[in-house]
Amino acid sequence: MIKIGNIELPDFPLLLAPMEDVSDPPFRRLCKMHGADMMYSEFISSEGLIRDAMKSKKKLDIFDYERPVGIQIFGGDEEAMALSAKIVEAVQPDVVDINFGCPVKKVVCKGAGAGVLKDIDLMIRLTKAVVNSTHLPVTVKTRLGWDNDSINIMEVAERLQETGIKALTIHARTRAQMYKGEADWNYISKVKNNPNIEIPIFGNGDVNTPEKALEYKQKYDCDGIMIGRGAIGYPWIFNEVKHFFETGENLPKPTISQRLEAVRQHAEWSTEWKGEKLGLIEMRQHYGNYFRGIPHFKDFRVKFLEVFTMEEMVEVIAETEEFYAEFSF
């Protein structure tokens, strides 16, 4: 069993990564259904929360069926981070997570996300501000360092642990790499095997198959894996990984019917949460991911993009299923 504060997770849990414009409640619900052990929200601007910005406040929505769930915040100002942690605490998530890993320029330019990797003292002050302002367990997600010449995750992990955080997730790339190149999990292993480290260490980066998940579990000694891009359009990955751990065998890939049912559920929950118009507009980014690698989907993707009501969605799903009934994969 892995513990984050008072939260109990199974041995070697699988976590859904916080991803902007992806990890919203409808998507988290799908991943929970398909085996994710813990969820994280999209990252939320501390400044946005303090300004009562509508978009930031909406991201605070959490539901009991997805617990345990963490809300992730980012920012570069100690007072703003402390205040936002108090706002987050009011909606009663299980965890407050701090983002020190987002490499996107608009975040980094504000001295937040991975931008803090250039100033470790600031990172520690920001973390202390959050830890001291909430009764909830605080966790951190970060990267190896700013670039290959400044990989400092060993020092960072020890100093973050001293602030009182309860777990650390390491994306095994530098900020300079963004999402390119290969993630170097050797550093995750070095952190985990540091005798001074007592908190759970979760690994993140490049896990997109059950085989790779098992290889990384056995090779790098981490306490669990956080899956991000590997789950986009493919929430089945969590149960597939668990089944492979237990049996050494792969579950059958989801059928067309199962993919279409996931799309329908995702769209239905999206419209319930955001309203029909916005919910279906924001679904447009997901269709191609659910059918990645499926032949002849291009024409149907266009039809999905032209859907404006759930009634139309159901019709396109039925038409798609009828077409693919003739195929076997």
* Helix, strand and coil percent figures for the chain, each rounded to 5: 50, 15, 40
Q: Which of 31, 102, 109, 222 is catalytic?
A: 102
58 is an annotated ligand-binding site residue: no
| Phi, psi for residue 90 in degrees, rounded to 5 | -65, -25
In order of 95, 124, 128, 136, the CA distances from 77 in angstroms are: 20, 12, 12, 20
Q: Is 109 a catalytic residue?
A: no
What DSSP string describes 66-114? G-SEEEEEE-S-HHHHHHHHHHHHHT--SEEEEEE----HHHHTTT-GG
In order of 83, 303, 312, the CA distances from 298 in angstroms are: 47, 9, 18
What DSSP string describes 219-261? HH--SEEEESGGGTT-TTHHHHHHHHHHHS-PPPPPPHHHHHH
171 is an annotated ligand-binding site residue: yes
Left, alpha or beta for 84 (phi > 0: left; psi -120 to 50: alpha)? alpha
On the CB side of 160, how many CA atoms lie within 13 Å of its CA? 34
59 is an annotated ligand-binding site residue: no
Element (H, E) at 153: helix 153-163
In order of 263, 295, 296, 304, the CA distances from 299 in angstroms are: 16, 10, 7, 9
141 is an annotated ligand-binding site residue: yes
Q: Amino acid identity of 83? A: L
72 is an annotated ligand-binding site residue: yes
Binding site: residue ranges?
Answer: 72, 141, 171, 228-229
Binding site for FMN: residue ranges?
Answer: 72, 141, 171, 228-229
Q: Which residues are tagged catalytic?
A: 102
